């Protein structure tokens, strides 16, 4: 039993059109304090989730898709434990692994995040190694243990990033702070990427728009933005939309359309906030 450790950890998870099998997977956290933010019409009430999950949890929701950054920040603001595991519904991790992450966090006072080794295959089990952890400049944010007080101190996710690039921004801010991130070398989790939400035309469009918008916003925030890159990608995506429609490659055309929209939204963000492009 991990009773003492479990009492000091919360699990925070955002749901958006999450497949039923991933909802069921959340039962792996039944011994922890769990906070769920739901922002989709499916499983749109605590009662419906209670029919699937066999434990008590705190429930927050929005009919509007607020994005991963804002919903995660809301959950972090509700956490009352010393640590929280920020993760996604398609991640498999056991209680023993979470305990090892906590033990690693306690090795140094300047650790803010600790993550396991992330695999995509089944059958991963914990194993002992002589070295406890490795200092990292970037962690896989699909599953990482956070020191809540330190995370609130530097700020969690920048809410200008809707879905993608918010973790890159967070890691960049950590690397500029006095805190460090580590990866536990005897802890493992399984993440089946891009399975936390059901695939659909709308979700594919949101992903593409968010990725390209976030890419340019990240470049701009860290002074890597180049106008020539924006103009080149705008022109290229416009051209490939026409080519892909001509050859009936509709999936590729959708990707180009989403990227084009993402670029337009970025320019709109810059204009509305009265920021110079050059």
What is the tens place of the pLDDT at every residue in 38-83?
A: 987 655 577 888 889 989 999 999 888 899 999 999 999 999 999 9
Decide if pLDDT at 196 tops 90.
Answer: no
Distance separating alpha carbons of residues 37 and 269, to the nearest angstrom: 26
- Reported as a pLDDT band with limits 50, 70 and 90, residue 4 is low
Is residue 102 very low, low, confident or very high in pLDDT (cuts 50, 70, 90)? very high
Cα–chain-centroid distance for residue 187?
Answer: 19
The structural domains of the chain, with segments of one domain joined by +, span 3-191, 201-272
Question: Distance between CA atoms of 88 and 92, rounded to whole angstroms?
Answer: 9
pLDDT of residue 126: 47
For 3-191, CATH number?
3.90.550.60
Convert the pLDDT of each residue in 141-160 to its tens digit. Answer: 999 999 999 999 999 999 99
Whether residue 197 is predicted with pLDDT greater than 90 in this model: the reply is: no
**pTM (2 d.p.):** 0.86
39 closest CA partner among 85, 89, 96, 80: 89
Judge whether residue 121 has pLDDT over 90: no
Helix-, strand-, coil-residue percentages of the chain, each rounded to 5:
45, 20, 35
169, 218 Cβ separation under 8 angstroms:
yes
Q: How far is CA 127 from CA 24, 110, 118, 259, in A?
A: 26, 25, 14, 42
Rounded CA-CA distance 79/98 in Å is 17
């Amino acid at each position: 039993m991990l009773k003492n450790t479990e009492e000091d950890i919360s699990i925070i998870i955002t749901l958006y059109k999450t497949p039923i099998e991933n909802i069921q997977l959340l039962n792996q956290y039944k011994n922890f304090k769990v906070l769920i933010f739901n922002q989709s019409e499916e499983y749109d009430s605590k009662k419906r989730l209670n029919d699937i999950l066999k434990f008590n949890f705190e429930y927050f929701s929005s009919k509007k898709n607020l994005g991963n950054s804002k919903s995660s920040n809301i959950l972090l603001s509700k956490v009352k434990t010393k640590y929280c595991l920020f993760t996604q519904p398609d991640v498999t991790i056991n209680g023993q692994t979470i305990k090892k992450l906590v033990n690693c966090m306690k090795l140094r006072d300047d650790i803010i995040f600790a993550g396991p080794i992330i695999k995509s295959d089944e059958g991963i089990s914990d194993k002992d190694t002589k070295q406890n952890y490795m200092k990292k400049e970037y962690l896989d944010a699909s599953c990482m243990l956070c020191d809540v007080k330190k995370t609130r101190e530097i700020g969690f996710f920048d809410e200008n990033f809707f879905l993608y690039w918010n973790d890159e921004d967070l890691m960049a801010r950590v690397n500029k702070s006095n805190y460090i991130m580590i990866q536990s070398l005897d802890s493992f989790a399984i993440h089946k990427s891009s399975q936390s939400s059901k695939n659909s035309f709308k979700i594919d469009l949101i992903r593409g728009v968010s990725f390209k918008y976030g890419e340019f916003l990240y470049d701009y925030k860290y002074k890597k933005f180049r106008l020539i890159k924006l103009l080149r990608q705008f022109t290229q995506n416009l051209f490939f939309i026409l080519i892909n429609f001509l050859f009936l490659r509709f999936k590729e055309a959708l990707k180009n359309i989403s990227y084009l929209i993402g670029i337009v939204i970025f320019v709109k963000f810059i204009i509305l906030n009265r920021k110079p492009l050059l």
